[in-house]
Amino acid sequence: MDTREMLASFRIPIPLGIDEVATVIDACLNCAQSCTSCADADLLEDDVDEMRRCAALDASCADLCETTARILSRPGQWDEFVVHRLLQACARVCDACAEECARHAAHHRHCAICEKACRACERACNELLEGEAFTELQKLAGG
Amino acid sequence: MDTREMLASFRIPIPLGIDEVATVIDACLNCAQSCTSCADADLLEDDVDEMRRCAALDASCADLCETTARILSRPGQWDEFVVHRLLQACARVCDACAEECARHAAHHRHCAICEKACRACERACNELLEGEAFTELQKLAGG
Amino acid sequence: MDTREMLASFRIPIPLGIDEVATVIDACLNCAQSCTSCADADLLEDDVDEMRRCAALDASCADLCETTARILSRPGQWDEFVVHRLLQACARVCDACAEECARHAAHHRHCAICEKACRACERACNELLEGEAFTELQKLAGG
Amino acid sequence: MDTREMLASFRIPIPLGIDEVATVIDACLNCAQSCTSCADADLLEDDVDEMRRCAALDASCADLCETTARILSRPGQWDEFVVHRLLQACARVCDACAEECARHAAHHRHCAICEKACRACERACNELLEGEAFTELQKLAGG
């Protein structure tokens, strides 16, 4: 991924830091890919009845991760509030998706990989959220 | 749009109400279309130098509106927190985009139409956010 | 939807016609919404085992419809080849999705609505494809 | 990116090959990220007047790359025709975007990086298109 280099090429400073933001973008794109494939793989399984919640969460997780990656890729008209709320939503759906995938990880390899991708993305979002930049918004949002 | 009918066809009750949610989805899709066209039209104008903030905000507004429409279109594994944060982010970027479009509405018709679409979407998101369902989350989020 | 008005606000003529293109954009956005909800509703059904192909096709149909709506919403740097190939892909996935939904339309109302939305979108794409503008590309593509 | 591993976890064979498809998906996601940032960076430049075509093409290139990545990530209900047409559209917009970025690569670093990402994605799509699997469709499409 050229994410880091792309952010470094902006003529303005990147709010929250180049490395920090690039890490979240890459984690989001990897998670979106994993979730898209995981949902499709779920629908081929013999125990599809058990996989319905997984497939549904995967779909929303992929959408939120892609949009988060896009918004973070545009520092030009950065809006701290938008980024903050989106990161919160993204971290939450990644957590829900990881938890569900974990239930199937032992018998479906795609869930094991997807769980890992969701956890990595959740962690990356949370690290950005816990940065000083968001301290005040964080307080307002009750954590 | 068949949005209302689609939501009514679910075998579960729609959190926040069928009409209320359908209104937001339709407003989001209309706003996403307006913003996508407005950004493209901005880049054809003689005063493109004045339109740069408009084009950039349009892009992020379109992305957030589409994702909000998608998440609201999936009541199956509804997550109140995700919906709440996403509606907040969506309302905020709609407001910023409407404000910028308003500055150009007198001389660019696409901005006048887009301003209206953004305001309608912002209003729809805020009406959902102000519903009783979100009262507690709302308090936590400091309004 | 303000689609027609947005296209009419461009300072360049709209290739393939304002009404014709607006019709496809609106049909695409309606179809994307229906497919997104239909996939989610499929995953709640008792006969989810029978709905797996429907849910998978819905996901790809929603993605292609949204992207087709976006590309058509940007006449500024119009590329006839890109539009043509995308319309072909969109019409095809709408047809496949409509066919699958038709199999469940009698017992799942969401599939009945979604089938209609897919057919309307397929028809709109094909009408654009059959226009004179595409005659040469059409010949090259073998129909 | 876990793309290769995700595709390898499917219980069905991957049409066109795991490595070949994973390469295109990864190239698409990298290109989508580059284009999204490049468009935003364009709008901050002093010579924005010269960058309008670049920003417009970037937007469509990002959309098509993301959708191509999604469709390829779902081998479950694979449709050769849809994949073929989408790859053609994606390769074409990547070529147009790379050509435009090349004009600005000497003075805007983001364009230099984005040009490379577009060319890599175009090449990956074309390699898949030239595979034996598509020989017949390729003939029908006149190359």
Chains in contact with A, where contact requires at least 3 CB pairs less than 8 Å apart: B, C, D
pTM (2 decimals)?
0.96
CA distances to A76, B37, C66 from A12, rounded to whole Å, are 8, 27, 32
| Residue B139 distance to chain C (closest CA, Å) | 30
Using CB atoms, list chains with 3+ pairs below 8 Å to chain B.
A, C, D
| pLDDT score for A129 | 95
Q: What is the pLDDT of residues C7-56, one digit of tens each?
A: 999 999 999 999 999 999 999 999 999 999 999 999 999 999 999 999 99
pLDDT in tens, C104-129: 999 999 999 999 999 999 999 999 99
Tokens matching residue D118:
């577009």
Give the span between the Cα atoms of D99 and D86, in whole angstroms. 20
Residue B26 reports pLDDT greater than 80 = yes
User: Is residue D130 packed enough to be buried (19+ CB in 10 Å), middle (13-18) or exposed (0-12)?
Assistant: exposed
Q: What is the C-alpha to C-alpha distance for residues C22 and C75, in angstroms, rounded to an integer?
A: 11
For chain A, give every domain's residue range. 16-131
* Cβ atoms < 10 Å from Cβ of C130: 11
Helices (H), chain A: 3-8, 18-42, 48-72, 80-104, 109-129, 135-140
Between the CA atoms of A57, A62, A63 and A65, what dihedral angle is there, to the nearest 10 degrees? 120
* Cross-chain Cβ contact C55/A43 below 8 Å: yes
Rounded Cα distance between A51 and A39, Å, is 9
Q: C108: alpha, beta or left, given left = phi > 0 and alpha = psi -120 to 50?
A: beta
Residues of chain A with pLDDT under 50: 143
Residue C76 is classified by DSSP as T
Which tens digit of pLDDT belongs to each residue from D17-54? 999 999 999 999 999 999 999 999 999 999 999 999 99
Pick the CATH number of C16-131 from 3.40.50.620, 1.20.1270.360, 1.10.260.40, 1.20.120.640: 1.20.1270.360
What pLDDT is recorded for position A5? 98
CB contact under 8 A, C43 and A55: yes
Residues D84-88 have a mean pLDDT of: 98
C49-98 tens-digit pLDDT: 999 999 999 999 999 999 999 999 999 999 999 999 999 999 999 999 99
Q: What's the pLDDT score for residue B142?
A: 52
Nearest to A56 among C43, C52, C53 (CB): C43
Q: Is C65 within 8 Å of C73 (Cβ atoms)?
A: no
Measured CA to CA, the distance from residue A15 to residue C121 in angstroms comes to 42
For residue range B52-64, what is the model confidence (pLDDT) as tens digits? Answer: 999 999 999 999 9
For the segment B125-141, what is each residue's pLDDT rounded down to a tens digit? 999 999 877 766 666 55
User: What confidence score (pLDDT) does residue B143 get?
Assistant: 44
Contact at CB, D44 and A113, closer than 8 angstroms: no
Torsion from C-alpha of C36, C38, C41, C45, nearest 10 degrees: -140
D63 chain-C contacts, CB cut-off 8 A:
67, 70-71
Which residues on chain A are in Cβ contact (under 8 Å) with D30?
1-2
Distance from CA of D46 to the nearest CA of B (A): 9
- The letter for the amino acid at A45 is E
Spatial neighbors of C123 by CB under 8 A, at least 6 apart, are C27
Residue numbers in D near C66 (CB within 8 A): 67
Closest CB to C57: pick one of D70, D77, D81. D77
The fraction of chain D above a pLDDT of 90, given in percent, is 91
Question: Chains meeting C at 3+ CB pairs closer than 8 A?
Answer: A, B, D
Rounded CA separation A69/D31 (Å): 13
Which pLDDT tens digit goes with each residue over A12-44?
999 999 999 999 999 999 999 999 999 999 999
From residue A124, alpha-carbon distances to A24, A90, A100 in Å are 5, 10, 19
Which among B40, B49, B52 is the nearest to D56, CB-wise?
Answer: B40
Q: Is the pLDDT of residue C132 over 80?
A: no
pLDDT value of position D136: 65
The residue type at B45: E
Given a cut of 90, whether residue D61 has pLDDT beyond it is: yes
Specify whether the CB–CB gap between B81 and B61 falls below 8 A: no
Q: Would you say residue C137 has pLDDT above 70?
A: no
pLDDT of D65 strictly over 80: yes
Amino acid (1-letter code) at residue D63 = D
The per-residue pLDDT for D5 is: 98
DSSP A11: S
Residue A3's alpha-carbon distances to A65, C31, D31, D35, in angstroms, are 15, 33, 10, 10
Of the candidate ranges B82-86, C11-15, C132-136, D103-107, the one whose mean pLDDT is the lowest:
C132-136
